[in-house]
Structure 1
Amino acid sequence: MGYLFWHYGRAIKKFLIIWRNFFEFWWHFFSVNLLLKTLFSTWRRDIISKSSGLDIGEIFLNLIASMLSRLIGFFIRFISIVLAIVLEIITLILGILILFVWIALPLIIVSLFLEGIYKNISFLIASVLITLVSFYLYSYSKRKMPTEMTLEEAMKKNWFKKVWLRAGFDLEKLRGVNFNNLKDFLKQNNFSEDDFNEVVSWVESEEEQKIKEKMFWEREFLLSIRGIGKDWAYGYTPTLDKFSFDLTAQNPRKFKSYLIARRQQIESIERVLIRSRENNVLIVGEPGTGRKTAVRGFADFVSQGKISPPLRHKRVLELNVNALLANISNISEAQGRIQMVLNEAIKAGNIILVIDDFHNISNNLFNVFIPYLSSKYIQLICITTYEGLHKDLERNPEILKYFEKVEIKEPDEKSTILILEEIIPELEKRTGILVSYPALKEIVYKAARYFSSVPFPERAVDLLDESLVYVASKTDDKILNVSHVDFILSEKTEIPIGEISQSEKEKLLKLEDILHQRVINQEEAIRAIASAMRRGRLNIGEKKKPIGSFLFLGPTGVGKTETAKTLARVYFGREDKMIRLDMSEYQNVSDVSRIIGSQEGEPGILTTAVKENPFSLVLLDEIEKAHKNILNLFLQVLDEGWLNDAFGKKINFRNTIIIATSNAGAELIREMVKEGLNPVLEKEKIMDFLQKESLFKPEFLNRFDDIIVFHPLTKENLIKIAELSLKSLIKRMDEENKIKLSFDPIVLEKIAELGYSPEYGARPMKRVIQEKIENFIAKKMLEENLKEGSEIHIKPEDIF
């Protein structure tokens, strides 16, 4: 009974819908309504322009040409309309026949069955085959789409294997996993239910899309096929075609990613373009946020007919302004070239012209567009940035009044994940690599943290692309996982990211010893820095601040700068990963512009350096000498991890380590040491002194992760520093000159003694080694003509 209810109910209803779809398709495919409206119009608006003056011969020739053009147009359009009507009639007849056969099908099957039993077995076979086909259609109609299934139902389908693979699970380890024990399985494997449901939704959408793409009888599919007569009512554009790219001629659904985050903006573009006045669009947004994707999405809607009727026959052309204006020698020639393509677009009558970086067009050329912006035969979609809008376009209000602004904002992380889910199947097809959901999340969240100078979704798309290329070309793996993404991130940032290896774990645990290889004494400072670095590497603590921020207090020459250099080398891999600013050069309020840039276009020293080297250590030497306004800039940096430059760009400091050094309170620290006090334990007194003397405000000091007091150096410390310096020289001589160098122990003590001063600490030591040791070695090499393998042993009497 269920079959019969379906056969004479839902099946007939579905057939009538499909029948109607094909009626509508032929009318749409041959653009019958448009062809009827333009039946007697000239072919492709082929009209010969009339010259000035009265010329009877020219008028007669133009009339003949117009009649021929109209005759050609009428003939082609008439044939197309007739063909559409013929196909409609065929569709009508076939539909009636199929409907009658379908209504009588149960009786036909019974008749064939009886004939097969009593007369001919072929009738029996035919009845069985028809019955099987009928029941196949019956079962097909009852089939649920993937998104309509319950999770339990979906888990029984073959396509659900892709869910497990996308979730990052090994299919060999899934034996025995079913709907009843799924929650326990996910919990055991530290995979959240929310994430698993996201993976299921993603794969369900993929599978449903594949099914829908095969359903050619559906109205949406049929009407997405571009009609053959759409362009016949509009003019040719040979010059414009040479310098533009037709976005409506692209493969439908090629730019699917716009559907997730840009549907609202596409609808805004549509609303502006169907207006009668001010119907040109100015898209405003930062590069990488999806401005062009929104335009391509709109063009795709136009191409598929999913748009308001006034826009259905439009062509969306992206003009290549650079190619158009190439080899132009003067402004009048440029104006003439632009007028030529705009006139051609107006003559065509169905052009929407897209111009990227509209703000880059010269002010002398803006005026060329004004007469065309009010025309009903051409419309513009212009793309610009916020800077371009405020700096260039707002100075030309006579142009802006013809535009309506549509803003493209950067999508958030959740929307970016959905955008990537849309484009990933195409990338997977290209590389042969499957993207796991944990890898996708890692890409989005790590791109947000480490590449903030580029907006979403571009920064995530770039990282995804690089990760897939790496796996496809450098590994034998077939699935992109978290470790692959972290490897690419580590390569790009030159800092360790992701799961900690055993060797790195040992390095982190012994970080104090590594730092002490170059920094003598200062136990408390080394311990505090090492602890902060371990917290940062393990992602413990605030993620919206710099990796670490420290204020080093202490006398000159006690190792503050050396500690910063060592930290840059240990954490970022190289000493040149340090951005150093001498804050004594920023003592005036006008020096703020040197830090963040000026409105005159001069870039800021600090903001530019951090933008170009986002993974670096920022050393602010002698910060107490900087102007108060400059100190206030760093309140935001230390608290929120970013700083706006003079051009409104947000500069990310969250991947930097910030170290400020100061000699403030140095005398107080020396006095404490003389009195036998430990300055580290007396930090509160030092802080009170700094605030009482108005050297730093409490809110500034409180922004640092730690304030570290450096001790004055003892004699033993100085000898160790001298030993480190001489060991470095020994290594350098061996590697570069192949000469073995050695010293008497007394030399160390003498270098330590001469290389120290109460005012500058151990800073003079480098100069002493240069003057006493290196000069002696240079003379000896010249006098004795030393060769590779030679040895030099330096005694006190040689140099003192």
Structure 2
Amino acid sequence: VQGDVPEGLKKKRIVALDLGAMVAGAKYRGEFEERLKAALKEIVDAQGEIIVFLDEMHTVVGAGAAEGAMDAGNMLKPLLARGELHLIGATTLDEYRKHIEKDAALERRFQPVLIEEPSVEDTISILRGLKEKYEVHHGVRITDPAVIAAATLSARYITDRRLPDKAIDLIDEAAARLRTEIDSKPQELDVVDRQIMQLEIEREALKKEKDKASKERLAKLEGELADLKEHSAQLTGRWQNEKQAISALREVKGQIEQTRLEIERAERKSDLETAARLRYGSLRELETRLAEAEKHLKELQAGGLLLKEEVDPEEIAAIVGRWTGIPVSRLLEGEMQKLLRMEQALHQRVVGQEDAVRVVSNAVRRARAGLQDPNRPIGSFIFLGPTGVGKTELARTLADFLFDDERAMIRIDMSEYQEKHTVSRLIGAPPGYVGYDEGGQLTEAVRRRPY
């Protein structure tokens, strides 16, 4: 679009080929081949001007294959061999090994390009580029510390997904949650309105009573209701004003985004007059309006805010907490302060055992400071001693200190594993045996809560 491509790729079109739509409804033999052949003929006739993109590339192997029919892979091979078809495929390593590597003739038509997972630093750069689009879409502001928190916390605590996908989802969910809160009644106002409803129900019940105590309570209740209704009216007014200010802010941001797109479009067409008029006229005016809208919102929220309009690290940590079950407060507490008071925290429950507590604390501190080999465990300890001296208690206390929950540990009773065959209960049965799909007591527990 911007012309920022090598000369050989200029004017090329990228077209996604939807194999699922081609296979859908193909009832008779040859129907799928006819559809695919027609699409491929159009691509070949374009004489290299079309680059085909195939998502889930492994579906090509066997797609449309029925009794006596050809599959899509075999139909693509001649075109790929002659260089008439330029094809980009995307698939996972597992699917590539499982489907494409088995078909050697198809595999050698392609040059594999491994796309590595980006680092945390690269993810932060990606998020900074995407941030503005999410701000305009959700109508909230995303702070830079929130972007950094999304990349670092997702890399550390969400182990079953990849960057930058999981970090983008964190930002998206946190912004969507904040937008929902802005559109909903604030909690403070909701509590007051519920109290009013409760007291009104009580008032209606007291009106039916004739005794003196009930009449006194009714008079007192009327006073409470009047105060609460006044407070509710004030809060409602503040809420509506803040909501309108945030909506105005969102509208201006949307207009700025639209103006920037128009400037880019004009610059691509070399319409410099329009680009200059938009950049130095409309855009500057909108930026002034944005500054005024932000100032107005700050003035409204000076006496305490009912609505929050910016995503900060606390919001991100709350989402991570919901996804993984890790307590939010622990994520945001300064790591240094937390580790410096580790011995005192452990000694609150474990009396004595100075050496054991010190060794465990030092191991955890070493790992957190990054002085330890990342490919080795934080620590492996054998607590030896007679019954009742605090071996299990120290393990429980350590789990409580690190995860705010003493049950956050996997307890294995080794008396259950005396027989040779019982080890399969620990790590799962080998392929071909009963229970292979179920996993072991240890492996399943670690997979579900890897942190």
TM-score bucket of the superposed structures, by smaller chain: 0.5 to 0.7
1:133 is aligned to none
Deviation per CA, 1:317-372, whole angstroms, max 9, x where unpaired? 22233333335568865555444433343345533221112124444532232123
Structure 2 CA distance for partners of 1:387 and 1:454, relative to 1, 3 Å: same
**Counterpart AA for 1:420:** L
Instruction: Report which stretch shifted further, 595-604 or 316-325.
Output: 595-604
Output the amino acid matched with 1:486.
A
Q: How does 1:579-728 map to 2 (within 5 A)?
A: 579-580=410-411, 584=417, 587=420, 594=427, 605=440, 606-614=442-450, 655=451
2:57 is the alignment partner of 1:358: yes
| Counterpart selection for 2:309 from 478, 481, 484 | 478
Instruction: Pick from 16, 21, 34 the counterpart of residue 318 of structure 1.
Output: 16
1:447 paired with 2:154, answer yes
SS at match of 2:53: strand
**2:61 touches 2:99 (CA, 8 Å); kept in 1?**
no
Going from structure 1 to structure 2, the CA distance change for 1:535 and 1:378 (only over 3 Å counts) comes to closer
List per-residue Cα deviations over 1:734-756 (Å, max 9, x = no partner).
xxxxxxxxxxxxxxxxxxxxxxx
1:386 aligns with 2:386: no
- The match for 1:498 among 331, 336, 341 is 331
1:304 and 1:478, CA in 2 relative to 1: closer, same or farther beyond 3 A?
same
Counterparts of 1:61-460 in structure 2, within 5 Å, are 303-327=1-25, 334-349=32-47, 350-363=49-62, 364=65, 365=71, 366-460=73-167
Q: Deviations over 1:265-300 (max 9, x none)?
A: xxxxxxxxxxxxxxxxxxxxxxxxxxxxxxxxxxxx
Q: Is residue 586–residue 592 contact of structure 1 (8 Å, CA) maintained in 2?
A: no
For 2:28 and 2:413, the matched residues in 1 are separated by: 48
Report the CA distance shift for 1:417/1:604 in structure 2 as closer, same or farther (over 3 A). Answer: same
| C-alpha distance after superposition, 1:592-646 (max 9, x if no partner) | 99469769996864555433322xxxxxxxxxxxxxxxxxxxxxxxxxxxxxxxx
Give yes or no for contact 2:58–2:96 (8 Å, CA) kept in 1: yes
Change (3 A) 1:461 1:368: same
| 8 Å Cα contact 1:354-1:382 kept in structure 2 | yes
Q: How far off is 1:569 after superposition?
A: 6.3
Q: CA, structure 1 residues 607+557, in 2 after alignment: closer, same or farther (shift >3 Å)?
A: same
**Residue 532 of structure 1 contacts residue 548 of structure 1 at CA under 8 Å; is this kept in 2?**
no
Structure 1's 444 and 331: CA in aligned 2 closer, same or farther, altered over 3 A? farther
Give the C-alpha shift of residue 397 in structure 1: 1.2
Distance, in Å, in 1 between the alignment partners of 2:313 and 2:54 is 39
CA contact (8 A) 1:355 1:380 kept: yes
Counterpart AA for 2:107: L
Q: Secondary structure at the match of 2:326?
A: coil
Alpha-carbon separation, structure 2, partners of 1:441 and 1:337: 48
Q: CA deviation at 1:382?
A: 0.6
How far did 1:399 drift? Answer: 0.7
1:109-158 CA deviation, whole Å, 9 max, x = no partner?
xxxxxxxxxxxxxxxxxxxxxxxxxxxxxxxxxxxxxxxxxxxxxxxxxx
Gaps of 5+ in 1: 1-302, 517-521, 615-654, 656-800
- What is the total number of aligned residue pairs between the two structures? 305
- CA distance in structure 2 between the aligned counterparts of 1:459 and 1:395, rounded to whole angstroms: 32
Q: For 1:611 and 1:478, how far apart are their aligned partners in 2?
A: 36
Q: Aligned partners of 2:397, 2:413: CA distance in 1, in Å?
A: 18
* Structure 2 CA distance for aligned equivalents of residues 400 and 599 of structure 1: 30
> Are 2:383 and 1:552 equivalent residues in the alignment?
yes
Q: Measure, in 1, the Cα distance between the counterparts of 2:29 and 2:378.
A: 52
* 1:488 pairs with 2:187: no
Higher relative contact order (CA 8 A, sep 6+): 2
Q: Output the CA distance in 2 between the equivalents of 1:440 and 1:432.
A: 16
CA contact (8 A) 1:483 1:498 kept: no
CA–CA distance in structure 1, aligned partners of residues 358 and 323 of structure 2: 25
Name the structure where strand makes up a greater proportion of residues: 1
Q: Distance in 1 between matches of 2:438 and 2:46?
A: 46
**Could you tell me which amino acid in structure 2 is paired with residue 352 of structure 1?**
I
Percent identity over paired residues? 29
Work out the CA distance in 1 between the residues paired with 2:146 and 2:346: 30
After TM superposition, give the deviation of residue 420 of structure 1 in Å.
Answer: 1.5
- Return 5+ residue gaps in structure 2 as ranges: 66-70, 183-306
Residue type of the alignment partner of 1:359: H
Change beyond 3 A, Cα 1:547–1:436: farther
Aligned mates of 1:460, 1:427 — CA distance in 2: 13
Distance (Å, rounded) in 2 between the aligned partners of 1:494 and 1:329: 49
- The answer as to whether partners of 2:141 and 2:310 remain within 8 angstroms in 1 is yes
Shift of 1:466: 2.5
Q: How far has the Cα of 1:398 moved from its partner?
A: 0.5
Shift of 1:406: 2.0
* Counterpart Cα distance in 2 of 1:404 and 1:526: 58
Amino acid in structure 2 at the alignment position of 1:343:
K
Based on CA coordinates, which of the two structures has the bigger radius of gyration?
1
Query: How many Å apart are 1:383 and its aligned residue?
Result: 0.8
Of residues 532, 542, 554, the one that matches 2:361 is 532
Distance 2:32 2:418 in 1: 48
Structure 1 residues 507 and 469: CA distance shift in structure 2, 3 A? farther
Q: Conserved in 2, the CA contact under 8 Å of 1:597 and 1:603?
A: no
> Is the Cα contact below 8 Å between 2:140 and 2:311 reproduced in 1?
yes
**Cα deviation code 1:485-532 (max 9, x no counterpart):** 33333333322333449xx9899955544x56xxxxx85299729963
Q: Any conservation in 2 of the 1:370–1:399 contact (CA below 8 Å)?
A: yes
Tell me how far apart the structure 1 counterparts of residues 43 and 419 of structure 2 sit (CA, whole Å).
Answer: 56
Normalising by structure 2, we get a TM-score of: 0.53
- TM-fit CA distance, 1:549: 4.5
Which whole-Å deviations, capped at 9, do the CAs of 1:206-265 have from their partners, x for residues lacking one? xxxxxxxxxxxxxxxxxxxxxxxxxxxxxxxxxxxxxxxxxxxxxxxxxxxxxxxxxxxx
Query: SS of the residue aligned with 2:135?
Result: helix
